[in-house]
Structure formats: structure tokens, C-alpha cells
Amino acid sequence: MIQIIPAIDLIDGKCVRLTQGDYSQKTIYNENPLEVAKEFEALGIKRLHLVDLDGAKKGEVVNLKVLESIASKTKLIIDFGGGIKNDASIEKVFNAGAELATIGSLAVKQPNILFSWVKKYGANKIMLGADVKNENIAIGGWLQSTDINVIDFIKINFFEGITNIFCTDISKDGLLQGPSLELYKKIMTEIPELKLIASGGVSNMKDVLELDKIGCGGVIIGKAIYEGRITMDELKNYINAN
């Protein structure tokens, strides 16, 4: 069964969503992210994907208090990302209660730092985000394209021991037009042992079932939940049935 991982994206301590990573296309869904996290927990959700968009933009962790609040007042397993750039910031994130640190651009720019964290904390404490545009990795809040092929990138990190890997197709994110099934199939054919986490484009429960069918280990869902395309009842029924 595929694991459902709701996303809470943070700007100014509020729960928001962007469309295709564009800060000017921002919708505030809830002023209180803890409320949202508690709702998810009440449904039987076990995991939460918490993204510090202020931190991603600034290059240092900003919304630490929200992480502390959710970690201390729920039992959710939280992966937290956005602005984790050095030893001090990853330490803060773990101390604030994150179970996993989500790393994106740093894995491209300074892979040695990432690999040192894998050695220090263990691969189970790291979650790697592979953001993709036309099958190449994009970094810097999706503003910068690279010529690094996504499959090569995932392979390098997988062989370094990182198994928590999610892949977001930027062209799909926030548009509710369905996930990149073909891309995910391609990645999992190349690395069959990988329990890939899909992210971006999920618009309804049918998409979740499709991702389950092709063998994804998890799915990160944001906008579809907040826009009511996937209802809390549907989530609850799916979790209870599995």
C-alpha cells in the first residue's frame, strides 16, 4: 500500500500553497498549521511533509517554531525541508523534532556535505528531493535548471545509501493535472529497489491508486487536499481500508 504524506508549506508561519513554485501565486489555506496537522493525524495519517518556503528562499531555516509546535503536539513523523544548508541548521531541525531532514539543492551543489550527514545521522534521517524539469534536475527553488539527468542523480544518491527519495515534476506541481506516471515508471525501472515517493500533480484518489499500481512507495499530496479534490473522508476511508 502506498503511504499518503500530506504536505504543509509554510510562509510567515501560515499554511500556504504555491503554483509551480511561484511565490507570487500564493494561496493561504490556514493561519494555523498545527490545526491542519492535527486534522491529518486524526484521520490516521502517520507522516507529514513540512516545507519552510521562507527558509528555501532565504537559504536558512525560518519556520522552526512551527516545526517545534507540530512535533511536540502530534505523533506525526515529520520530514522538514527548506533552508537546511549547514551542520548548524540540520542540528536545529532535528532538535526541533523533525524525524527526517529534506535536502534538495545542497545535494547538487555540495554533495559531500549531504554524504557526511548520511554518515553522521544515518540514511534513515535524510530525505532527498529531486526536482525535475524535462527529466533534468532543477535547483534553487526551481529557478535554476541543470543538465543533470534525474535518473543519474537518483542513482548516485541511492548508491550512497539514501533510500528516502521523492521526485517532483515541476511542470505538474500545483496544477492538479495528474502526476508524472511515465517519469516515475522510468525511474523505478532503472532502480527497481527504490521505494520512490511521488510528488506533484496529484488531483484525486484515482491518481493515488495509479501511483500505487506502478509501485511508488509514497505520495506527497498538497493542493488536492486543500482545494477539496481529495476530501478528508476519502483519505480516512483509504487509510482504514488499508
State the amino acid at position 203 in one-letter form.
S
DSSP 125-143: GEEEEEEEETTEEEETTTT
Query: Which stretch of DSSP H or E encloses residue 29?
Result: strand 22-30
The Cα 151–Cα 190 span in angstroms is 8
CB 124 within 8 A of CB 162: no
The active-site residue out of 52, 54, 79, 131 is: 131
Range list of β-strands (E), the chain: 3-11, 14-19, 22-30, 47-52, 77-81, 100-103, 126-133, 136-139, 144-149, 165-169, 197-199, 218-221
Helix (H, G, I), strand (E, B) or coil at 94: helix
Q: Which three cell numbers stand for residue 171?
A: 511542470
> Are the C-beta atoms of 180 and 207 separated by less than 8 Å?
no
Question: Which residue is it, cell 521562507?
Answer: 54
As given in the structure block, the three cell numbers for residue 227 are: 482545494
> Can you read off the three cell numbers belonging to residue 114?
549531504
Annotated active-site residue 22? The verdict is no
**Helix axes 33-43 and 232-241, enclosed angle (nearest 10):** 40
- 152 belongs to the catalytic site: no
Residue 136 to residues 53, 85, 148, 154, 168: CA-CA distances in angstroms?
A: 22, 22, 5, 11, 11
| Active centre residues (catalytic) | 9, 131
